[in-house]
Chain A
């Protein structure tokens, strides 16, 4: 089974990288960009028997730092 883990900074945590990209988009002349936040996408191929609990633990113990990041687990249909 294919799984995508979407890791994003928690609301309220400043994202200097996103802010710099926002400025760059402004510089390119794109109008109306109101906010940019950079996250991380982890794509995994796991055994079909992998439990939701195991996936959640993978995220909370390693793939995301829950002090500053949220994560969302997406199972992708083949």
Chain B
């Protein structure tokens, strides 16, 4: 099991992600810097963490999506390597066109930082197999640009193909159809605004996020 966390200038959840992956996988994840051209060989899992890469210049995630490492991340995703983008990582994945849609400024213009209920919409994906469809879990969000937008045809397709992984229990940020997290067509790329890596210990805000990592790491170990 070889996992990696990519750090961009301005990432600030990379260490939390690193700890979550270490705790669940039992091995230290590799730290990868945005300017690296290549990922280490033999990676089983890649995480793009939250934060404010490049100070959110131009658009959230836009600069990071064009950084050298993202070409390698895109190639790995194409090969089927699981890629998880959380918060700014989700924004980077949409800007890199690895996921459809875009994340816009929250509808009420405010930064939202709180633990929110999420409804699990898909319990068969690589990332969500440890949950039960319809289950409500509680995961922290902390973002200013989490308002998910895609055209109706794209939304219909996402829903029709079971690619909405999570919805907000209540629509905090204006996201269309309450979407909090989506999968790519092949199911090996998940982007989500809520932070599962901040919910891995009962003593620190709950452990509902831990099951996401247990699910995906467990399925990879089983391969």
Contact = CB atoms under 8 A, between A and B. Distances in A.
Contact of A17 (B59, B62, B109, B150): B109
A68 B97 CA distance: 13
Nearest to B65: A62
A63 B94 contact: no
B109 A65 contact: no
A16 B175 CA distance: 12
A16 B107 contact: yes
A14 interface: yes
Interface centre among A16, A62, A63, A67 (most CB of B within 10 A): A67
A58 to B, nearest CB: 11
A18 to B, nearest CB: 10
Interface residues of B, number: 19
Interface SS of chain B: helix, strand, loop or mixed? Answer: loop
Contact of A67 (B94, B105, B106, B109): B94
B206 interface: no
Interface string B102-132: 1011111100000000000000000000000
A16 B149 contact: no
A17 B149 contact: no
A55 interface: no
B105 A17 contact: yes
A68 B106 contact: no
Interface string B73-98: 00000000000000000000011000
Interface string B143-160: 000010110000000000
Contacts of A16: 104-109, 147, 174
A62 B66 contact: yes
Contacts of B59: 65
A49 to B, nearest CB: 23
B10 interface: no
A62 B150 CA distance: 18
B149 A13 contact: yes
Contacts of B105: 16-17
Contact of B58 (A14, A62, A68): A62
Interface centre among A20, A63, A65 (most CB of B within 10 A): A65
A14 B107 contact: yes
